[in-house]
Amino acid sequence: MKLILVRHGETEENLAGILQGHTPGTLSLSGVEQGKKLAQRLKGEKIDAIYSSDLKRASDTTKIILLHHPEAKLEYCENLREGNGGSWTGKPTKDLDWNNRPADAETQNKMKERAQHFIDKIVSEHPKDTVLVVGHAGFNRVMISRIINSEDPFKDMSDQRNTAVNIFEIYEDKTHKVHCLNCTNHLK
């Protein structure tokens, strides 16, 4: 299976430095343009299925991509949401103590379980297909960590930039191949 994992376009909240978590988010004008450039990059791909976070910032990015892939099977998934920031949600990221996460925030282990469950699902349902997944910076990093067998996605890899593209060949025996990580060449 070919997996194309992308992040949504820039949001107004990204610009303001706000932790979004499970809030919808609103694409900025730049985020809409990023989405259009991402859609152009993906235009030549044969995409069989698209799975998108159901949060507005991801679903709005997905709708832009769909203009070039109207035949792809589409599913919006709560399971692809960004990590739940709990009481940190809506607060400026510069004010957060990342070494002392709030008790009501989703744990990294819980995110890893969600990511692995989703990966297992799409591998079993689309073993020979090309699947596009539209998600979020933190959750995409967790998904990538499951694919490349990294223990700590927040220390072992860089942040996912807006509309970053990650491409993998996924195999049932877990001998996955990485074609690109965090690529934003389409924005140049």
Q: What is the pLDDT of residue 137?
A: 96
**pLDDT tens digits, one per residue of 55-85:** 999 999 999 999 999 999 999 999 999 999 9
Q: What is the pLDDT of residue 139?
A: 97
| Three-class DSSP category at 50 | strand
Q: Is residue 157 over pLDDT 90?
A: no
Which stretch of DSSP H or E encloses residue 49? strand 49-53
What is the average pLDDT across 116-136? 96
For the entire predicted model, the pTM comes to: 0.95
* CA 145 – CA 112 distance, rounded (Å): 8
Lowest mean pLDDT among 110-114, 155-159, 177-181: 155-159
Query: How many whole angstroms from its chain centre is CA 99?
Result: 23
Whole-angstrom distance, CA of residue 85 vs CA of residue 103 = 10
Asked whether the predicted pLDDT for residue 90 surpasses 90, the reply is yes
User: 1-44: per-residue pLDDT in tens?
Assistant: 999 999 999 999 999 999 999 999 999 999 999 999 999 999 99
Predicted confidence band of residue 118 (pLDDT cuts 50, 70, 90): very high
Structural domain 2-93+105-187, CATH architecture? 3-Layer(aba) Sandwich (3.40)
